[in-house]
């Protein structure tokens, strides 16, 4: 089983106006091609949640994702400081590697690249935009 992660930017004001799936059909994907399975990003975001590292605080109540787009995480420009201060060593290594047959070096590379991309995408998100991370 494989998983794909896609990144989009939408206007924050549009979140309350419709279903997220409809917004994403009109939105262009952002970021470069993600070279890892979507499960790598999912494990990173899950480990962050377990460590009480919250992205997009308060936005989940505004969004109706819909099953067709999979799991959705939201981030805003306000999250950049949180991400810049995040150290992978502070996250649960077992959660990061859950379900993968990777050695420690490969897992570290996958998570470092994932966190770096997440930081870049959040840094490029405007004050009136939301970064949508869709894992399907």
> Closest by alpha carbon to 3, among 38, 36, 29?
38
The single residue listed with the structure tokens 């992978």 is 88
| pLDDT given at position 98 | 83
Number of C-beta neighbours around residue 47 at 10 A: 21
Say yes or no to pLDDT of 32 above 60.
yes
Domain residue spans in the chain?
5-135
The lowest-confidence range among 45-54, 100-109, 115-124 is 100-109
Q: pTM of the full predicted structure?
A: 0.88
| pLDDT given at position 66 | 57
Rounded distance between C-alpha atoms, residue 82 and residue 94, angstroms: 22
**Are 8 and 30 a contacting pair, CB within 8 Å?**
yes
Q: How confident is the model over 87-98, as a mean pLDDT?
A: 87
97 vs 116, residue with greater confidence: 116
Rounded distance between C-alpha atoms, residue 14 and residue 12, angstroms: 5
Sequential DSSP letters for the chain? ----EEEEEEEHHHHTTS-HHHHHHHSPB-SSPP-S-HHHHHHHHHHHHHTT--SSTTTGGG----GGG-EEEEE-GGGHHHHHH--GGGS-HHHHHTT----HHHHHHHHHHHHHHHHHHHHT--TTEEEEEEE-
């Amino acid at each position: 089983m494989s998983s794909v992660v896609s990144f989009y930017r939408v206007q924050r004001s549009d979140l309350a106006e419709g279903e997220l799936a409809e917004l994403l059909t009109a939105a262009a994907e952002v970021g470069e091609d993600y070279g890892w399975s979507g499960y790598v990003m999912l494990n990173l975001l899950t480990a962050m949640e377990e460590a009480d590292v919250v992205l997009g605080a308060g936005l989940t109540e505004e969004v109706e994702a819909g099953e067709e787009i999979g799991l959705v995480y939201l981030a805003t420009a306000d999250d950049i400081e949180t991400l810049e201060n995040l150290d992978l060593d502070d996250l649960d290594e077992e959660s990061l590697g859950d379900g993968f047959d990777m050695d420690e070096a490969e897992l570290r590379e996958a998570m470092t690249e994932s966190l770096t991309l997440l930081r870049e995408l959040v840094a490029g998100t405007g004050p009136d935009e939301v970064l949508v991370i869709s894992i399907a």
